[in-house]
Each structure stands twice: as C-alpha cells, then as structure tokens.
A and B are shown apart, each in its own frame.
Chain A
Amino acid sequence: MPTSDKLAITDLEFDTIKSNLKTFLKAQSQFQDYDFEGSGMSVLIDLLAYNTHYIGYYANMLGNEMFLDSSSLRESIISHAKHLNVMPTSRTAAKAKLNFTFRPSGTPTTLTIAKGTQFTSTINGVAYTFVTNAATSVPRSTTGTYVSLAVEVTEGKILNKAYTVVDDSAQRFIIPNVNVDTSTITVKVQKASGDSEVFTYTNGDAVDVTTIKGTDRVYFLQEIEDQKYEITFGDGTVGKQLSTGNIVFIEYIVSNGTLANKASSFTPVATVADLSIGSGTPGFDLTTNTNATGGADLQTASSIQFQAPKLYQAQKRATTKNDYKAIILEQRSDIVSQSMVVRMQILFNMEKFLLHLNQLATILLVLMQRPPLKMIY
C-alpha cells in the first residue's frame, strides 16, 4: 500500500485498519518502530485498530437491525413487525376431542367435567399431558344417560401468575414462561386485596382499536425478549387504566407445540366428574373423537420477515388470493405450504362461486320483475 498522509477510512477488517494506520504513520517522521510487534507503538496501533474495528462492527450491526429485511435479532424483527401491526404467532397447543359416557351411582341432573382435568397420551415413549381448558356440563338425557361428545382437551399445563399493581410507571406484567400458547391466555383483575370483585379483561388486539373506549376492560399482548410475552393495559383513553392496588391474574397454557400432534389414545390422570374410568357402575368410558392436531411452534424470525409485509398488505381483508394466503398463514401456522395453497385455492374458488351465484340471483330477480316479453309473429 502506498505511503500516504491521508488515513483510509472505508475498511472494516482489523488487519486492513491496522495496515492503514501503519501507512498513515509511515508518512510521519516522529516514530519509526510501529511495525515491530513488541514495540510500544505497535501496542497502541493494535488498540486503535481494535477500537475502530469495534465501532465499525457496532455501526454495521446497528445498520442491519434498523431494517426488517436485514435484522438478525428476533427482538428487532418483532419490533419492525409491530410497526406493521403484525403480531407473530405463538407456540400453539395441540387439541384433541374426547367422547365420554358416564355412569354415576345416582341420577344427578348434571355432571361436570371440571376445568383443568388432566389426561395423558404417549407419543414415541414420551408422555404428554392434555387438560380441559373449560368446565363442561353433562346433563342427564331423557333416557337417563350421561353422554358428552367432542370435549376439547388442550396439550400442556395451565399456569398462573399474579401481579399487584404498584405506583410505578415502569411496572411490567410479564408472563414468566416461554412456550406459551397466547390463545389460551385469560386476564382477570381484582379491584383490591380487600375487594374480591374480579373483572375479566378481553384481548384488545382482537378488536378495532378505534372502538375501544377508555372504560373498556381490555389488555394488549406483545412478545418481548427471550420469547416471552408482556401484557399491557389501557391508558384511560384506549382501554381502562389500572389503579394502584389492583391485582392482575394471568392464566395461560404452556405447551409442547408440534410434538403432541397425532396423540390418539388418552388416559385420565385422576377421576373425571368424580368418577373413575372402567366398565362398571359408577364409572365412565372414554373414546377418542378426534386425534390431537393443530400443535405448532413459535413463529420463526425468518417466517416473520417473510410474512409481515404480506399480512400488512392484506390489511385483514379477504378479497384477493394473496389476502386468503395471508389470513391462513396468520391463523394456521401449522399448515404446510402445499396444503395451504390447495386450501387457499378452494376458498378463493368458493368465494368466486358465491359471487357468481349472487350475480345469477340478481339477474333472475330482475327478469322475474319485468313484464313478460311480447311475442312477435
């Protein structure tokens, strides 16, 4: 490299930066020993080159993380997706449906399958727990039987977290677990420890934000660092604001995602509706209505990069072929691309068919209302 009193500034590699500094120093007359590794000048040049390399690397990474296409950190990608009003899909729990036939000892009016009733199913030697995510009432039929069909069980464990609201604007309501299925989150707020009234909050992201009033009990969800989720509440203008002393209860299911798909044989962990499984009376029979399906993993960073612009483009419409594609991608991330395309085509064709049917009906209506045609001979 030619000797120059001008310092080259376009390189980013450590060795090139160091070489540029040496080139610059060669044009100076004060020091001669910069190119011997033990010299004091060499130590200082190393320090300068390292510093320059460090800042250059930092600026490069900073530049990359500023755009959705070039970001590498999941947190950055999610932040960019947030600007496009896109919430990455969480891990989704597999769901199965079970049929029950109960034989209680007496003749109660109803039996109840309690929320949180557990079942296990083994896939490839690994046991997975399925739970009922809501209580199911089983009424006595006119023939005196107690049959409940297609009771939904969700793979995973129901967990809870409670926060007491303090007078601190920096307080965060973070779900402390990873692998949460966000569709299972329920949020309730108790007014105070001395006031047992509890209000259920709904997901504010699921409704049009312009319709949310300052008194509406809504929560908002966002993914934060380490693949965890944070719940935020309204500010008094959009959604009701929390008050100091409120107690926030968050309930959610932590799932194994795709691993529990195809579970087909279920065994109750304990009693169901206070009855034990078995053919006798009292007892109950259990059969599988639908094998477990729908389990999906957390949306990957590259998937968010791919889908976010498309979802933004669709704007939650269902008009064009790409809109259907975006909606399916958003709601059923477990569907593989091939079957997704087929389903999308079916939906799109169905839409066109309905449109044609509508046009045909309109034409028929017009024809029926007009006077009969005069026959000209």
Chain B
Amino acid sequence: MATIFSKGLSTNTRRWSDLDLDFTAHPVTKDIVTKNDVEAVKRSIRNLILTNRYERPFQPELDGGVTRHLFELSTPHTKYDVESAVRTAISNFETRAEVLDIVVGGNLDRNGFDVTINFRVINDPEPVTIELFLERLR
C-alpha cells in the first residue's frame, strides 16, 4: 500500500476523487458520479470499516474489525472494543484521515451500534463527521 507521502502531499491544493461504489449515474451527463475531496475520504472510511477479514482477495490483513463485535452483548466493554477497532482500521489503512474522536452508542431498539467518527482530512483543517449504524446484517 502506498503511503500518503509518496503523493507529495504538502499543500492543501490536493484534490481527492474516487468512484462512488453505488454507481449512480449523473442526471445530466449520464456518466458515473464521482466522489471528491472530503466525500471521497468519508466513503473510503465507510468502506474500510464495513470490510471483513478475508473479504479482499490476497489481503487477509485488511479488516474493518467491527463485525466480530456485533454479535456480542451491548456492554461498555463491547463499545470500547468497537471504538478501538474503528480507530485501528483507520490508522492502518486510511492515512488521509486523522481521527479526532469516536463515539459508540448502543442502539438497543435496532440491535446495533451508532458510531460517530469525527476526523480531519490531513490537508484540510475542517473537522468532518461520519455517522454509521452498525448491525449484524447489512
């Protein structure tokens, strides 16, 4: 995996762009919609966290790390484990994001966890928030 430094990222003029895996067509151009800048990083983090171990061919180490906790009882320990897993995954595999805070809350009615990730894109001082709902089946 290439590191962010190999891209020569020293200014905030760097633009991020990525494909949207929903493959939505642009209403006017009919081309595939792209995700840019912060949205690209947000989508990347979301993809990363929802990836299970051995899901990617030949990359068994690539793991969001949360799925195994979703079958546990909703206790403070489990919430801490989920938070730790999310933090580790971003730290290992998404070098564009600097995590500021992660809040994990149990959602007993829906049998899942609400996860709020506050982070900063490395070339952008503005904090960004992603809200995810993690459940056993998706």
- The judgment on whether A and B are partners is yes
Residue among A39, A49, A53 making CB contact with B40, cutoff 8 Å: A39
Q: How many A-B residue pairs have CB under 8 A?
A: 70
Q: Are A38 and B93 in contact (CB under 8 A)?
A: yes
Interface residues of B in 27-66 (CB under 8 A from A): 34-35, 40, 43-48, 51, 56-59, 62
Binding stretch for chain B, among A28-36, A221-229, A266-274? A28-36
A160 CB, min distance to chain B CBs, angstroms: 49
Q: Are A33 and B57 in contact (CB under 8 A)?
A: no
Interface residues of A in 41-99 (CB under 8 A from B): 41, 43-44, 46, 49-50, 53
Q: Are A40 and B20 in contact (CB under 8 A)?
A: yes
B111 at the interface (CB under 8 A from A): no
Q: Are B18 and A35 in contact (CB under 8 A)?
A: no
Q: Are B19 and A44 in contact (CB under 8 A)?
A: yes
A14 at the interface (CB under 8 A from B): yes
Residues in chain B near residue A50, CB distance under 8 A: 57-58
Q: Are A14 and B57 in contact (CB under 8 A)?
A: yes
A235 at the interface (CB under 8 A from B): no
Given contacts A31-B18, A33-B18, A33-B40, contact A40 B59 (CB under 8 A): no
B1 at the interface (CB under 8 A from A): yes
Residues in chain B near residue A32, CB distance under 8 A: 7, 15-18
Residues in chain A near residue B48, CB distance under 8 A: 37-38
Given contacts A14-B58, A46-B56, A46-B59, contact A33 B47 (CB under 8 A): no
Bound together, the chains give a CA A43 to CA B21 distance in angstroms of 9
A27 CB, min distance to chain B CBs, angstroms: 15
B2 at the interface (CB under 8 A from A): yes
Residues in chain A near residue B15, CB distance under 8 A: 32
Q: In the complex, how many residues of chain A place their beta carbon closer than 8 angstroms to a beta carbon of chain B?
A: 20
Residues in chain A near residue B1, CB distance under 8 A: 35-37
A230 at the interface (CB under 8 A from B): no
B118 at the interface (CB under 8 A from A): no
Bound together, the chains give a CA A179 to CA B96 distance in angstroms of 63
Residue among B44, B51, B57 making CB contact with A36, cutoff 8 Å: B44
Residue from A14, A30, A46 with most neighbouring chain B CB atoms (10 Å): A46
Residue among A14, A31, A35, A53 making CB contact with B19, cutoff 8 Å: A31
Q: Are A41 and B19 in contact (CB under 8 A)?
A: yes
A15 at the interface (CB under 8 A from B): yes
Binding site for A on B (CB under 8 A): 1-2, 7, 15-21, 34-35, 40, 43-48, 51, 56-59, 62, 93-96
